[in-house]
Structure 1
Amino acid sequence: MKTIQIINVRWFNATAWYGLYLARLLREAGHETLVITEPDTDADRKAKEWGFTPLHFDLNSSNPIKLMRAYAQLHKLIAEFAPDIVNCHRGEGFILWGLLRKYLESFKLVRTRGDQRLPKNNLPNRWLHTNVADAVVATNSVMANHFTSKLNVPAHKVSTILGGVDTDTFIFTKEGRDDFRKQLGYDDTNFVVAMLGRFDEVKGQKELIEAVAELYHAKGMKHLRLMLLGFDSATSQKEVESWIAANNLQEVCCITGKVDDVAAAISAMDLGVIASKWSETIARAAFEIMACQRPLISTGVGVMPDFMDEEAMFTAGDVDALAAAIERAAKDEVYLKRISASQQHEIAALSGQKFLEKTLTLYSSL
């Protein structure tokens, strides 16, 4: 099969990862795959790192002349490459692909929606998703329900594909765990609570710091340690450090920055936390933590209820609820083993191979 994956995303965020990882899986399975990215962006650099030669077009422009030129260039690309499937992972430029799909009728058009914004219920969106796109992929059930109930996209056109994780890369190793914990000064008596993700208000780093502070200072849980596997993004590391200082956690909290062996860093956790206050439409961090056999607690936003046990979720933005969830995990070994077993059952269906199989089933049906 020949596909074009449109990943015109500026950052290497969850949407870009979903599209590029899918492109990599398709290529590794022997399917001829082109990727289109925005030049000189994080997503563009990651595509090159993974061995692609990305193509560039002015899909994100609002200039009519540039868009007309892009349309002509894409027309030529389709004529030369003759794709079976074109999959748009962003909305910018989707109208151009829609017009080409209607005019040429030589390929099938898929719109994958993995960003946090629900599509507006307006005439252009209804026309594009109902009458033009051959299929819509939602990365969580909330998005899928929005398409069918609000935009009236026929249910048979909407598929929910959560994504997947590279289970050959993200795997628990005791050696990696021991080495990483030793680097950070943690021993076997410490219970390491950790968050994996960029520094951003949406991710809930501030609430996690406050919850750990409540347990450490007010409840005397001196064996707790907090590991933030992240780095500057929308929120600076300096600001995160100010939250740590304000809660007097400098001695027990570590910011790792970028690490070479992410699987070893995840293996060093005793409990992973997704404290996101909104978003999480694609659960990349959660999948990686679960693949490394680390128990996880989470808010119930976005895609999380699609695979998380209700017993392992807490209310978004509620510091007391988060503190209570951490305390239970740290003190109740039976509970911790129970949620971990449930998550291992779920992650078995969320491997990269399953991601590829579900996507190819959809593509083949088109």
Structure 2
Amino acid sequence: MRIIHILNHVQKIGNGIVNVAVDLACLQAKTGNEVAVVSVGGEYEALLAVCGVKHYHLDQQRNPINIIKAAVRYQAIAAEFQPDIVHAHMMTGIVLARFLRYGHKYALVSTVHNEFQRTSLLMGLADRVIAVSKAVQASMARRGIPENKLRVVCNGTLGSPRTRNLHDYQPLPLQHPAIATVAGMYKRKGIAELIAAFEQIALNFPQAHLYLVGNGPDRELFEAQALATSVGERIHFEGFQPEPQRYLKSCDIFVLASHRDPCPLVLSEAREAGAAIIGTQVDGIPEALDYGQAGLLVPTKDSKALAKALVQLLSNADTLYEWKNRANQNLEWLNASRVHQETLGVYCELITQ
């Protein structure tokens, strides 16, 4: 099978969409398919080359002159590579692949990652639309994507070609009990609620520290919020980390307080690392936590409920141990190879038709 993945870039910046696409491309190439990635490029080009994936440079910046150039370039790439499948992961890619398909025989697949974006409806231009969780599938169906187009392939990243074996990562000397999150510094990731919850419990747990791993446009806002608390010296902004596994292995409690999150990859990594997990009850987070079997679930935008869950874990060593153990169970379905196989199944469905 000849497969093209089209996305904006392949930069190593913690972007979950890029990570999923790179995983798929590498695993597909390793299992004998001819695979190409089309993007403006980035650090993952080296890994793609090692895995036998061809990379074509395509700048998809949305200005009129560049879009015309991108259209001409895309046509040339498709004519040269002759794909059976084009798999679009981002909005510009799906538009190019759909409206420039004339004269080519490929089937078109899209993956909906951030379905809360209004423009995600464009992903419905594909012949098959992969939703990264059942919650995303239901949302897209409500918004008008035909159900016969939709397929669910839940995210999973364990065993990814991008990462090493978990045992190869050295844990960090964090101060314990250590509470951590790994997330972009965006309001929708619930960082403000996490800081507020930590402030509520910090005086009762004077040894606890909070580690915020990630970067983003709202970081200064959160830094100001932390500085305004009475426990700012125990709130650590760690920035983007290329090896977040070192934090996941070291922390006692991992928190993902998102307001919206289709199916976050970091939860599978936190589970593998054996952290006790607290997540919000929204979108694909419950699915990633086996509907509350592998982590505590709290309402979104509710710092009091989050603080209560933190107290539950920090107050009792046996409870903390139990939730660490529960997080570490039933990990097989979170493997990247399962995502790869199910995605190939969607491709085969189209090719046999």
Fold shared, TM-score > 0.5 on shorter chain: yes
How far apart, in 2, do the equivalents of 1:10 and 1:172 lie?
Answer: 23
Q: Which residue of 2 aligns with 1:263?
A: 245
Q: Which residue of 1 aligns with 2:106?
A: 107
Cα 1:30–1:191, aligned 2, differ >3 Å: closer, same or farther?
Answer: same
How far apart, in 2, do the equivalents of 1:54 and 1:29 lie?
Answer: 18
Cα 1:150–1:121, aligned 2, differ >3 Å: closer, same or farther?
Answer: farther
Which sits farther off after the overlay, 293-302 or 13-22? 13-22
Alignment of 1:82-93 (within 5 A): 82-93=82-93
Q: Does 1:363 align with 2:344?
A: no
How far apart, in 1, do the equivalents of 2:324 and 2:243 lie?
Answer: 23
How far apart, in 2, do the equivalents of 1:255 and 1:58 lie?
Answer: 33
Q: Residue 28 of structure 2 is aligned with which of 26, 29, 38?
A: 26
Alignment of 1:274-285 (within 5 A): 274-278=256-260, 280-285=261-266
- The amino acid across from 1:297 in the alignment is I
Cα 1:152–1:16, aligned 2, differ >3 Å: closer, same or farther?
Answer: closer
Equivalent residues of 1:9, 1:90 under 8 A apart:
no
How far apart, in 2, do the equivalents of 1:80 and 1:51 lie?
Answer: 19
How far apart, in 1, do the equivalents of 2:298 and 2:213 lie?
Answer: 21
Q: Which residue of 2 aligns with 1:244?
A: 226
Equivalent residues of 2:264, 2:285 under 8 A apart:
yes
Q: Residue 234 of structure 1 is aligned with which of 199, 205, 217?
A: 217
Q: Residue 18 of structure 2 is aligned with which of 16, 19, 37?
A: 16
Deviations 1:257-316 (A, max 9, x none): 3446432221110010001122x1230221221121212110122210223233611111
How far apart, in 1, do the equivalents of 2:326 and 2:19 lie?
Answer: 25
Cα 1:322–1:37, aligned 2, differ >3 Å: closer, same or farther?
Answer: same
Q: Which residue of 2 aligns with 1:140?
A: 133
* TM-score normalised over the length of structure 2: 0.85
Superposed displacement of residue 256, structure 1: 2.5
Number of positions where the alignment pairs a residue of Structure 1 with one of Structure 2:
339
Q: Which residue of 1 aligns with 2:143?
A: 150
Alignment of 1:1-366 (within 5 A): 1-8=1-8, 12=13, 13-38=15-40, 44-52=41-49, 54-57=55-58, 59-63=60-64, 67-101=67-101, 103-104=102-103, 106-117=105-116, 119=118, 129=124, 133-155=126-148, 157-167=149-159, 169=163, 173=167, 176-177=170-171, 180-181=172-173, 184=174, 186=175, 190-217=176-203, 220-231=204-215, 233-236=216-219, 238-259=220-241, 261-278=243-260, 280-308=261-289, 309-310=291-292, 312-366=296-350
Aligned-residue sequence identity (percent) comes to: 22
Superposed displacement of residue 120, structure 1: 6.5
**Long gaps (5+) in structure 2:** none
How far apart, in 1, do the equivalents of 2:59 and 2:82 lie?
Answer: 20
SS at 1:55 equivalent: strand
How far apart, in 2, do the equivalents of 1:253 and 1:166 lie?
Answer: 29
Cα 1:172–1:252, aligned 2, differ >3 Å: closer, same or farther?
Answer: farther
How far apart, in 2, do the equivalents of 1:260 and 1:46 lie?
Answer: 12
Q: Which residue of 2 aligns with 1:41?
A: none
How far apart, in 2, do the equivalents of 1:173 and 1:93 lie?
Answer: 37
Cα 1:208–1:134, aligned 2, differ >3 Å: closer, same or farther?
Answer: same
Equivalent residues of 2:299, 2:305 under 8 A apart:
yes
How far apart, in 2, do the equivalents of 1:9 and 1:175 lie?
Answer: 26
How far apart, in 2, do the equivalents of 1:171 and 1:290 lie?
Answer: 14
* TM-score normalised over the length of structure 1: 0.82
